Amino acid sequence: MSQILHIVPTPIGNLEDITIRSLNYFKQADLIICEDTRSANRLFRLLDIDLLNKKFLSYHKDNEHRIVDILINEIQTYTFPILLSEAGMPAISDPGYLLIRNCIKIGIDVEVIPGASALLVALVGSGLPCDKFHFEGFLPTKSGRKQRLEFINNYPYTSVIYESPYRINKTLQEMLEFFSPDHPIAICRELTKMHEEFIRGQLSEIIEQTKDKKWKGEIVLVIAGKNIKNL
């Protein structure tokens, strides 16, 4: 039987979003590759998963290139290795792609379990067309931001951006350089959590509405495409 790396998404806020299949995989796992071992341990305890005979290894953006070969060796040693991210689907604006690619290269099978995704929750809940879309992930923090915003402004379909609460106001102001004030957008915050919030409307009115807002939690920004500005 060939070795398999199981890619398991975790809830993005609400623990009830865990699937029965994911719970079963957590129970079977003997190797857990995760962004933060403390967070993963806490999640397992909250879900009442026995930690006995489970090894946790940290895999994050600062070490993913350095330890990928070590992880490959570990995966081949254990019976039921799984890969988690801090929240949501591994490899979507989180570490995972490099490890998955290298597993496939050497013949380790990769199984992806469906589950929670902030991208899809925000896209569907935005009220903007979601039959075709572009996922930008996080904008560059320094050089390249305006080039990406210009690309999104010219993109014909809906775009989705992940954004920090510390940068969202800056991003909205920068958008005014490329987008018309009446361009439809949606700000989606604290998805699946108690204080979940969708703010939908035109760019300029949302800037005015939220100018004094103290943003908290992770944010997903959904932007109408060039071809659908007159919603």
Residue 194 CB partners (closer than 8 Å, separation 6+): none
Over the stretch 98-142, which tens digit does the pLDDT of each residue have? 999 999 999 999 999 999 999 999 999 999 999 999 999 999 988
In percent, how much of the chain has pLDDT > 90? 93
Residue 231's pLDDT band (cuts 50, 70, 90): low
Q: Place domain 4-112 in its CATH homologous superfamily.
A: Tetrapyrrole methylase, N-terminal domain (3.40.1010.10)
- Across residues 177-202, what is the average pLDDT? 96
Q: Tokens representing 178?
A: 């490329």
What does the block give as tokens for 108?
């380790």
| Domain segments of the chain as ranges | 4-112, 118-228
Q: Is the pLDDT of residue 229 over 80?
A: no
Stretch 67-91: mean pLDDT:
95
C-alpha separations of 102 from 60, 75, 86 in Å: 16, 12, 21
4-7 and 109-112: which strand pairing?
A: parallel
Average pLDDT of span 58-62: 92
Domain at 118-228: CATH code: 3.30.950.10
pLDDT for 141 equals: 87
pLDDT digit string (tens) for 202-217? 999 999 999 999 999 9
